[in-house]
Structure 1
């Protein structure tokens, strides 16, 4: 399940009855308000967003699953969910804190380079949960409060102020992140790791419709062999393995969280037909799609 817009996500998942502009690029808020209509027994099903999410938990029961990693959150945990990362939460009760959703395009006027280049916690392989100290949490809370105040106001410079305040929030988070993950930041600086990171971002964005390494190599302006050599040297996996892993992960989500037919899932994931999809799943898991669905 993928949500292209903030408005669609708020309406479907958070059951927000407000009427939002479909082109909405930014939405800050408080967790207690956003989650007030979320069924605590169901939580948030596995999904992807085509926009970014950041939230700071101050109180309450909350777990998260990012891709295949599950963990329980504690007070003062800061969570960064980059666009297109698979996210789910099956336990949400009495949560308090701050949150903000924004598109990458909204910040482009104040950015110099890509989001993950400037702020490494948006990289797909980065650690996406930061346990803040009390002082760090207070700084981040004040930053969220500033964003909320400007967002609810009527300043003539509202959009620019919001971009600047979000930029400040990201700088605060980067400062906290650097204090904990300097080794990852240094490793990310190598050309091979940068190329692999760019490939992973493209796969997350296009894996449904692009299944061949050649297609990604063309987007990166390199040969398929060079891409294969670099990705293999930095991850130990081939580019094809990474594409197939994403397809498999998405197929499991659709089989377990939707009532889509096998033919519909095959079409969504751009397999030639249902037979090819079933063969792919059987080869990768040892089970047919129907057997996988019945196991959930």
Structure 2
């Protein structure tokens, strides 16, 4: 059996695969764009080769809208943002989108290094929950915060457009301020005051992200968290209204969809890559959530 990991794109390889090779792109993305870039979202979307199938990136992506709407699938959930809202795709998280949305605003893609340095510190990465895979990707800004964020984006874009990362100190200082403004109004997936349940749920989602191939049962995660399966089930249901079993199933199907898009592996090999060695069970599970078998899903991809 040929092993194949789900592909994670660097910014450079994503550009090669999904952005049109036009002269305009070189004026939008400066040197070292693999570390950081910022653009007007409507200018970049025109150059994207749609649809973008489920993929991952080594960098974080932040979208902020000043008008219109944007629709993107992050993880297993589809989100729509409108004016005065942000959408965050953490590094390593699966995302996809298919629409040429009519909107205005800013898109920023950045490596963790942009937060660590002269004007930042490593601790900030822990403070910004929206940059973690279990965070809430959709963030609504109040009017004043939206004004601040819009001003900071304009200033960052001006510096970046004129000199790229030559003005790194200026860009980083404004960028850290921008993230702090967003963090000030950020709300987690649940506003519940049951902090223990929130902590358990977040740890479960983080473990799910990192150990999915080997852990498919609620009891596996309960053991890792040193709690009972019933406690884990109650905590997760309380905070996100969905059972841990469903979260696990949806994560398995999402991983499989990425592999079906990105690889030529047989269906049984795709199943094995997500930790399922019974191909018929894998097909039933996939159809339960997608409405079609893995084979039919791949055929749909090939026709598109």
Whole-angstrom distance in 2 between the partners of 1:202 and 1:114: 21
2:30 and 2:37 in contact (8 A); partners too:
no
Cα gap change, 1:228 to 1:291, in 2 (>3 Å): same
Post-superposition Cα deviations, 1:8-36, rounded to whole Å, max 9, x if no partner, equal 22332233565988992222222133222
CA 1:72 to 1:258, structure 2 compared with 1: closer, same or farther past 3 Å? Answer: farther
CA contact (8 A) 1:80 1:129 kept: yes
1:130 is matched with which residue: 139, 146, 153?
139
In 2, the alpha carbon distance for the partners of 1:184 and 1:263 equals 37
1:164 matched to 2:140: no
Give 1:93 deviation, angstroms: 4.0
- Asked if 1:281 corresponds to 2:283, the answer is yes
Equivalent position of 2:42 in the other structure: 32
Structure 1 residues 145-189: Cα deviation after superposition (integer angstroms, max 9, x where no partner): 232344343787x44444332221111112233xxx48946647x
Q: Contact 2:287–2:294 (CA<8 Å) still a contact in 1?
A: no
d(CA) in 2 for partners of 1:227, 1:25: 42
Secondary structure class of the residue paired with 1:290: helix
- Equivalence for 1:148: 157
So what's the TM-score if we normalise by structure 2?
Answer: 0.71
Inter-partner Cα distance in structure 2 for 1:186 and 1:112: 28
SS at match of 1:153: helix
**Corresponding residue for 1:54?**
62
Is the contact made by 1:28 and 1:101 (CA closer than 8 Å) also made in structure 2? Answer: yes
Change (3 A) 1:59 1:98: same
Moved more, 9-18 or 161-170: 9-18
The equivalent residue for 1:193 is: 198
Say whether residues 1:86 and 2:94 are aligned partners: yes
Note if contact 1:5-1:22 (Cα within 8 Å) is conserved in structure 2. Answer: no
Are residues 1:107 and 2:115 paired? Answer: yes
Contact persistence 1:45–1:89 (CA under 8 A): yes
The answer as to whether partners of 1:84 and 1:204 remain within 8 angstroms in 2 is: no
**TM (normalized to structure 1)?**
0.72
CA distance in 2, matches of 1:22, 1:208: 34
Q: Aligned partners of 2:211, 2:15: CA distance in 1, in Å?
A: 24
8 Å CA contact 2:46–2:100 kept in 1: the answer is no
Return 5+ residue gaps in structure 1 as ranges. none
Distance 1:163 1:154 in 2: 12
Q: Which of 106, 109, 129 is equivalent to 1:98? A: 106
Given that residues 85 and 141 in structure 2 are in contact (C-alpha distance below 8 angstroms), is that contact kept between their aligned partners in structure 1?
yes
1:174 pairs, out of 156, 170, 183, with: 183
Q: What residue in structure 1 maps to residue 233 of structure 2? A: 232
1:6 aligns with 2:16: no
SS of alignment partner, residue 73 of structure 1: strand
Of 164-173 and 135-144, the range deviating more from structure 2: 135-144
| Larger displacement relative to structure 2 (60-69 or 235-244) | 235-244
Separation of aligned partners in 1, 2:168 and 2:82:
33
Distance in 1 between residues matched to 2:156 and 2:127, nearest whole Å:
20
